[in-house]
A = this chain, B = another copy of it.
Amino acid sequence: MMIEYTPIGVIHSAFKKLEGMPIQPAGAAGIKGRVEVFEDFREGLVDLDGFSHIVLLYHFHQGRGFNLKVVPFLDSRQRGLFATRAPRRPNPIGLSVVRLDRIEGGVLHIENIDILDGTPLLDIKPYVHEFDTQTEIRTGWLEKGRKTVSDRKSDGRFK
């Protein structure tokens, strides 16, 4: 079974290469970027400006193939791919929750962006606390590393 998607826009940021990027939005506080939504889809942006945060789903367009075991940025040991957020995946879909500053025409001005310049946008969803937030969670191997995420940058390991 093959599933075909077409980008609805493109994400613009200051990050031109995979090395030295923030690892997650938590490591990109205040870093600004833009999401350009293509003309054909702009009517669907109505009402989105009421939301302070949005979920971006996008296609990791750099890096080919994947390994089912990887050494993630926040660890020194191999981990199962699906227990990590590494970008090279069987279906390389990226997920970031970012702050939405304002919308001008078809352009979303966003903050806390950890996304490579030129990344194809697949979907935008409103971020809703009741839908997306969990409490009393366990985070396995990431239990230590997750707290250091804002100080860490990517390297070239997933090119």
Contacts and interface: CB of A to CB of B under 8 A. Distances in A.
B50 A139 contact: yes
Contacts of A4: 2-5
How many copies of this chain does the complex contain? 2
Contacts of A137: 51-53, 127, 129
A73 B66 CA distance: 38
Interface of A: 1-8, 24-26, 41, 43-53, 55, 57, 59, 68-69, 79-85, 89-91, 93, 95, 97, 99, 120, 122-134, 136-143, 146-147, 149-150
A125 B95 contact: yes
Contacts of A132: 97, 132-133
Nearest to A121: B91
Nearest to A70: B44
